[in-house]
């Protein structure tokens, strides 16, 4: 494929403004054609900043023949509906996480994308940062012995009034927002053979959404993953892989700076730091999405579906714990 990938933006979320639109524009294979919003004012602001057309109404964007790909940064509860509309319209889709709010919807959309020969990717940007591949290499080389457990935390300070993450009707809550990251990391590091041993969710009665939680996952060989997440905490996002003879730690695991980063390896003989060159995971995410479209190699959606199943299982385990 030599022609440009013409992309339309469904929604004017902050992540689109700060991260994704600049990354799309930085990729020489992508042309941002239009951005759609429910209101003309919001769309016009984005269009003026990024040199594209402003549209009112998401359907008006999907009806465009000059758009073959869409990016969906809408609130979580709206994802399933508009991803489905986009796939039905023959568009490739990059959707902010979570792809949907249920395993049933995620499986349906994964099958629809496959049937239509389209790329559907869930936007966990950290997956495309080379640090995690380097960690996997260290583990495979036995740098810390046999893997025993994974501990990961993603917590952020309290959200201001009106934040969509506090809106139950829009799919808010800590589990779907930042809790999804440690769950996806557990799959990346420990593989798909994960079950939920137990979980807790703390609900804020003012908003009706979970603002804190934890989950214990386990693999059939006994290796476990202890995950914590929340929307009313000190800011932390990290993970630690504990082995029989050491530990690998990664700080700012899900939101690394675009500059140089490092991996910390602790063993009985001391601590070593593995430096990594500057890398922008947002740019790398767009590159991976573009490559999938240009080569016709659709991403494996099995991990996306298993992710949604694990989220459902965590939610159900937490419900039973409260009963």
CA 72 distance to own-chain centroid: 12
CA–CA separation, 5 vs 229, rounded Å? 36
97 is catalytic: yes
CA–CA separation, 22 vs 36, rounded Å? 17
* CB of 66 closer than 8 Å to CB of 58: no
Six-digit token pair at 225? 């993953």
* CB of 20 closer than 8 Å to CB of 46: no
Q: Could you tell me where the beta strands, DSSP code E, fall in the chain?
A: 5-10, 30-37, 53-56, 69-72, 92-96, 120-123, 147-155, 195-204, 209-218, 224-230, 236-243, 246-251, 261-267, 270-276
Six-digit token pair at 181? 């990251």
As a three-state string, the secondary structure of 271-293 is: EEEEEECCCCHHHHHHHHHHHHH
Q: Which residues contact 110 (CB under 8 A, 6 or more apart)?
A: 120, 301, 304, 305
CA–CA separation, 115 vs 118, rounded Å? 8
DSSP state of 60: H
- The count of residues in the chain is 323
Marked catalytic residue, from 45, 91, 97, 104 = 97
Q: Among 170, 182, 163, 320, which residue's Cα sits nearest to residue 254?
A: 182
Residue with tokens 């999907």: 62
Q: Is 65 left (phi over 0), alpha (psi -120 to 50) or beta?
A: alpha
Active site residues: 97
């Amino acid at each position: 494929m030599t022609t440009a990938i013409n992309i339309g933006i469904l929604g004017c979320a902050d992540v689109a403004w700060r991260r994704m639109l600049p990354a799309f524009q930085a990729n020489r294979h992508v042309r941002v054609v239009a951005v759609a919003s429910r209101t003309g004012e919001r769309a016009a602001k984005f269009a003026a900043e990024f040199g594209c057309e402003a549209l009112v109404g998401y359907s008006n964007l999907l009806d465009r023949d000059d758009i073959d790909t869409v990016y969906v940064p809408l609130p979580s509860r709206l994802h399933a509906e508009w991803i489905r509309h986009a796939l039905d319209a023959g568009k490739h889709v990059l959707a902010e996480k979570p792809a949907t709010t249920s395993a049933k919807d995620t499986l349906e959309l994964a099958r629809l994308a496959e049937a239509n020969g389209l790329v559907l990717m869930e936007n966990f940007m950290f997956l495309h940062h080379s640090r995690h591949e380097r960690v996997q290499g260290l583990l495979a080389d036995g740098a810390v012995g046999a893997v025993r457990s994974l501990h990961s935390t993603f917590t952020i300070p309290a959200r201001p009034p009106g934040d969509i993450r506090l809106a139950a009707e829009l799919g808010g809550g800590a589990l779907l927002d930042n809790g999804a990251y440690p769950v996806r990391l557990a799959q990346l590091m420990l593989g798909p053979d994960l079950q939920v041993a137990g979980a807790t969710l703390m609900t804020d009665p003012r908003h009706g959404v979970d603002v804190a939680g934890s989950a214990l996952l386990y693999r059939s060989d006994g290796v476990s993953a202890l995950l914590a997440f929340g929307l009313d905490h000190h800011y932390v996002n990290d993970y630690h892989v504990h082995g029989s003879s050491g530990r690998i730690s990664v700080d700012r695991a899900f939101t690394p700076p675009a500059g140089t980063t490092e991996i910390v390896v602790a063993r009985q003989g001391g601590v070593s730091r593995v430096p990594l060159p500057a890398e922008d995971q947002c740019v790398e995410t767009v590159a991976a999405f573009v490559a999938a479209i240009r080569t016709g190699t659709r991403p494996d959606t099995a991990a996306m579906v298993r992710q949604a199943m694990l989220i459902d299982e965590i939610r159900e385990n937490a419900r039973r714990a409260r009963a």
